[in-house]
Structure formats: C-alpha cells, structure tokens
Structure 1
C-alpha cells in the first residue's frame, strides 16, 4: 500500500538567488507543482536575504545599498512523503542553511 500522506519541508536561504534556484530545481528536476511551493521572508520585513547576490551586487563599486537585506528567505514545500529525502537533499544542495520538517 502506497503512502499518500504529504508533509511540509521548510528551508532557509541567505539570498533570494539561492531560494529561486531551489524552487527551479524542485519544479524542473522533481516535478513539484508550483502551487505547492511557498516563498516568504523569515521576518516581518520585505527582504532580499541576508547577503547581496545577483542584481544586489554593483560590479563597479561593490554591494548595492538599496536592496533590503532584512533576514533570510524561507522556501516551504508540500510534498508526498515518498519525496522527503530527495527534496531535503535538493534544498541542501542548492544552498539552504537550514532544512526542517513541519
């Protein structure tokens, strides 16, 4: 008998770029439906993460100062129990600083 239960995995990222990369891996490599993936700040403030990356870096003068670096980005995903180990590993490999269930 197959286990049809679902569980929620939460992962925290230091940059929006890493969170976006994690989402793309889940969708493209593991066929997780986008409506089952949620991205939000871990604080009450709008944030691009805790460290500059991608468009947040001014390549001439260093870091930009207009990007809100107010906290980590959380990606949570509702998955089938059978995908638990694979999804946890994927989130870690794409840069999560913390991965937890529930």
Structure 2
C-alpha cells in the first residue's frame, strides 16, 4: 500500500498568532512636562516647609519670653455673716413664690 503523502505545502490546523513588536516610542512631551512640574512643586513645598518651621521656632521663642508668669491664686476666706440668718422669714418668702 502506498503512503498518503501530501502534495505541496502542509496547512496547519492551529495557527500561532504573530506578535507585532512595536519599537519603543520617545517620551511624550506631556509626560516630561508633568515630571518637570512635579519636581518644581516638590522644591517649592520643601522651601515653604523650611520657612514655616523657622517661623514656628521664632513664634515659640517669642511667646516664651513675652508670656507673663502665671499668677498665684490666693484663697479668699469668706467671713461668716455678721447678722444671724432668719430661717423663718426665708421660708415665708419662699412660700409666697
């Protein structure tokens, strides 16, 4: 018996998808400008933080030197009333209310 040999080119049942590799593109101008803006923003934030920390130290030192010393509280002793309290008249006034 003869072997069945394909005549010509064999066709594959399963085909592998071909990969199209793209060449790397240059960085887009928007992206580079955003990076530059971010760097400038970070620098300004650092500068402002330094300025505010210096101001905070100055305010703390000024407030310590200007702040008056806390006053000592003196206890005031109340003197007992000179006239005796009339409980009966107070009760009568409450009853009128």
Report the TM-score range of the alignment, normalised by the length of the smaller protein.
under 0.3
In our comparison, the structure showing a higher alpha carbon Rg is: 2
Q: Which has the higher helix share?
A: 2
Normalising by the residue count of structure 2, what TM-score does the alignment of the two structures yield?
A: 0.18
Greater relative contact order (CA < 8 Å, ≥ 6 in sequence) = 1
Q: Which has the higher strand share?
A: 1
Normalising by the residue count of structure 1, what TM-score does the alignment of the two structures yield?
A: 0.18
